[in-house]
């Protein structure tokens, strides 16, 4: 039986002391969330997202820091005074139609974001040339073109795969496509492939970026991300271009031409993205989701001791050692992000936060971006 004599047992007495805790100066900000009682009328989402989120804690704080990092990269890009004549001449030596910039913004995204309504946000960024380089996956290319012909439908995550298969419907999360979507794409693309094969026979060499550039020209549709990438000379890289419907299309196309179809040189595109990195004054990375599109940008930036700015948005964890879940600090160890950079990772499914991030960053600078296009 314990002796309750008014004194704590010796083995736990060390837990009680009268010395105040010493918080490091950088961690002295009090936690404080958005207070709806302060609203005299409509909710002030500007204050909520750009101010209150920073001090709310958890992923809200990471969102607020991502807003700050995105603003830093955009303001660097728009500061023409940072670009010297030497920088301009260096970038003009790139073998593409390129507008010199003080900070090259690289954006990656996975195919599901084009399948979803995030496509409209990505298209907006390309339309106003707020980004300089895009990297995506095969589905992220083909489904942009497909959606110019047939809409994707909103379903549920719980639909039976067996029943969907029997009805020729494909499910991507809670988004629904069908074989009709790919038939429309094939009907449009095959005549273009025929012409591309003829151009190859005449000596032209195709790369994934040239292939996408050509389709962006041919689609001639303002809803398309890659139409605007074509119009604004934004190179689009896809190192896994054949990992989807485009690969299927090229396989079937060969049956029309005695086993021949176009050849696509991925090495030339590797050289080009590395060349862009090496000739850039500074680089910024906006990486949505994981996989090959994320790492392709990171790997290229290792050629210059890393990107100067970086924002990740994904749900992946790092415990399995896969790059999809690797945090920015791991990228620093490889020189993919500069060791002095202040990168931010937001743990979130992208469609939840991308509209909010863009509303607080790129959208606010639209007038200045549009002046650069004039």
Q: Which residues are the active-site residues? A: 336
What is the chain's percent helix, strand, coil content, to nearest 5?
50, 10, 35
Alpha-carbon gap, residue 207 to 210, rounded angstroms: 5
Nearest to 121 by CA among 351, 309, 284, 367: 351
Is residue 345 classed as helix, strand or coil in its secondary structure?
strand
The DSSP-derived string for 351-370 is HHHHHHHHHHTGGGGHHHHH
Place of tokens 């995030």: 118
Phi-psi sector, 86: left (phi>0), alpha (psi -120 to 50), beta? alpha
Contacts of 66 by beta carbon, 8 Å cutoff, 6+ apart = 311, 313, 344, 346, 357
Alpha-carbon gap, residue 84 to 178, rounded angstroms: 51
Structure token pair of residue 30? 């009090």
Supply the Cα-derived Rg of the chain in whole angstroms.
Answer: 25
The DSSP-derived string for 127-139 is HTT--SEEEE-HH
Count of H-run helices and E-run strands, the chain: 17, 9
From residue 268, give the alpha-carbon distance in Å to each of 38, 184, 229, 265. Answer: 57, 30, 19, 6
Contacts of 4 by beta carbon, 8 Å cutoff, 6+ apart = none
Alpha-carbon gap, residue 291 to 12, rounded angstroms: 49
Sheet containing strand 283-288, strands side by side: 236-237, 133-136, 104-109, 283-288, 309-314, 344-347
Alpha-carbon gap, residue 104 to 367, rounded angstroms: 19
């Amino acid at each position: 039986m314990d002796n309750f004599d008014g004194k704590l047992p010796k083995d736990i007495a060390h837990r009680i002391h009268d010395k105040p805790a010493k918080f490091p100066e950088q961690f002295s900000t009090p936690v404080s969330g958005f207070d709806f009682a302060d609203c005299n009328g409509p909710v002030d989402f500007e204050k909520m997202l750009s101010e209150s989120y920073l001090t709310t804690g958890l992923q809200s704080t990471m969102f607020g820091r991502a807003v700050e990092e995105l603003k830093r990269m955009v303001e660097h890009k728009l500061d023409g005074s940072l670009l010297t004549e030497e920088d301009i001449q260096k970038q003009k030596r790139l073998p593409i139609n390129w507008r010199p910039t003080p900070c090259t913004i690289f954006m990656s995204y996975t195919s599901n974001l084009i399948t979803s309504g995030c496509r409209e946000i990505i298209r907006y960024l390309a339309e106003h040339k707020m980004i300089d380089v895009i990297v995506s996956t095969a589905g992220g290319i083909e489904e942009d073109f497909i959606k110019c012909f047939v809409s994707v439908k909103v379903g549920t995550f719980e639909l039976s795969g067996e029943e969907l298969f029997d009805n020729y419907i494909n499910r991507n999360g809670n988004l629904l496509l069908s074989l009709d979507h790919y038939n429309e794409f094939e009907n449009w693309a095959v005549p273009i492939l025929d012409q591309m094969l003829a151009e190859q026979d005449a000596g032209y060499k195709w790369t994934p970026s040239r292939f996408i550039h050509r389709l962006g020209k041919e689609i001639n549709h303002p809803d398309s991300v890659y139409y605007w990438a074509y119009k604004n000379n934004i190179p689009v890289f896809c190192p896994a271009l054949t990992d989807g419907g485009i690969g299927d299309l090229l396989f079937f196309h060969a049956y029309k031409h005695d086993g021949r179809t176009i050849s696509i040189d991925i090495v030339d595109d590797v050289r080009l993205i590395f060349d862009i990195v090496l000739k850039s004054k500074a680089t910024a990375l906006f990486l949505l989701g994981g996989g090959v599109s994320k790492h392709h940008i990171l790997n290229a930036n290792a050629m210059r001791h890393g990107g100067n700015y970086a924002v990740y948005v994904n749900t992946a964890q790092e415990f399995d050692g896969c790059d999809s879940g690797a945090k920015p600090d791991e990228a620093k160890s490889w020189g993919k992000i500069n060791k002095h950079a202040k990168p931010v990772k937001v743990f979130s499914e992208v469609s939840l936060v991308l509209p909010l991030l863009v509303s607080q960053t790129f959208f606010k600078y639209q007038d200045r971006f549009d002046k650069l296009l004039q």
